[in-house]
Chains A and B, each alone.
Chain A
Amino acid sequence: MAVTQTVDHSALKVNQAGIVVTVLVAFAGSAFYRPLAILIPLLAIVLLAGTFAPQLALFKQLYFKVLKPRGIVKPRPVADRPEPHNFAQGLGGVFLAMSSVLLYLGTPAYGAVVPVLGLAIALLVAVLAFVNLAFGYCLGCQIYFQLGKRGLIQA
């Protein structure tokens, strides 16, 4: 099958930058002001909603409605498929949802380990988004490739 679609990679970069900044603000900010941790479940909702309904992808909409029309970020269309990127975004959303569960629903019986795990998962999502942003390596896309290679998804 030939690649016939075009993906604006600037939109992906803005999305990744949004994830990194939001998680870092939640991560560092919650050390001083605990309610800031709410940004993590909110981000999970944004990522998961954006995966299934692109019009709900907050950071991409910010790019398409504000940054691109005003020339703040220039478009970079690349012949590409959106599915691996959506898959990666959805995976990030799932991990952030897990992180949120651990952060908010962890029982005190497990002590401090549960919130640490929740924070660690959120930080890992930010690290992977940063790696994608800075070096172009998309772990979610590689997982998509491996699943396709094994015939588990139609890649």
Chain B
Amino acid sequence: MSAQLWAVVAVGAIVLAAACLEAVRSRVARRRSIGASAAPASEPYILYFTGESCTVCRTHQEPALAKLGSVRIDKVDAIEDRTLADQFHVYTLPTTVVMSAEGYALHVNYGYAPATKLERQLADARIAPVSVPATA
């Protein structure tokens, strides 16, 4: 029985360490990506990084994006367009980037982002005119 208990402790420690690493990595990548630029537009829009191997993109992210209505969504294949993916430090799929009308990245979501979260971020992008974005 003690072997099982030690195994549970070991796995718990691994899962905890992985969660902490993921949180740090996500925070660092987000900080680096905020302010990165892409093409300006008349309205805030979303860069949606996906790939053929991404199941969550199809089962969760795309239905969430469909709920946003008429918002412009630029779909990017992270494998084929590696330059743009690297510019936004895409390390996981899906990744969604809320861009200001001026073409600056305001919010970066690594992993699945629900429609409510994206709507909130888009509302922020509409309210706050951005010339030089914050980096935090």
Binding site for B on A (CB under 8 A): 1, 3, 7, 9, 27-28, 30-31, 78-81, 83-85, 112, 115-117, 119-120, 122-124, 127, 136-138, 141-142, 144-146, 148-149, 155
Q: In the complex, what residues of B have CB within 8 A of residue A7's CB? A: 55
Q: Is the CB of A31 within 8 A of B1?
A: yes
The list of the 6 closest CB pairs from A to B, nearest first, reads A119-B7, A84-B53, A120-B10, A120-B7, A116-B6, A31-B1
Chain B contact residues, majority secondary structure: helix
B14 in complex: contacting residue of A3, A124, A138, CB < 8 Å: A124
Q: Is the CB of A149 within 8 A of B4?
A: no
Number of residues of chain B lying within 8 A (CB) of chain A? 29
Cα A85 to Cα B58 with chains together (Å): 14
Q: Is the CB of B1 within 8 A of A123?
A: no
Q: Is the CB of B7 within 8 A of A144?
A: no
Q: Is the CB of B8 within 8 A of A123?
A: yes
Q: Is the CB of B93 within 8 A of A142?
A: yes
Chain B proximity of A113: nearest CB distance (Å): 9
Q: In the complex, what residues of A have CB within 8 A of residue B51's CB? A: 145, 148, 155
Q: Is the CB of A145 within 8 A of B78?
A: yes
Q: What are 26 A-B residue pairs whose CB atoms fall within 8 Å in the complex? A: A1-B52, A3-B52, A3-B58, A28-B4, A78-B55, A112-B6, A116-B3, A117-B10, A120-B7, A120-B10, A123-B8, A124-B11, A127-B11, A136-B59, A136-B60, A141-B55, A142-B93, A145-B51, A145-B53, A145-B54, A145-B78, A148-B79, A149-B79, A149-B85, A155-B53, A155-B79
Chain B, residues 1-26, CB within 8 Å of chain A (1/0): the string is 11110111011001100000000000
Q: In the complex, what residues of A have CB within 8 A of residue B54's CB? A: 141, 145
Q: Is the CB of B7 within 8 A of A83?
A: no
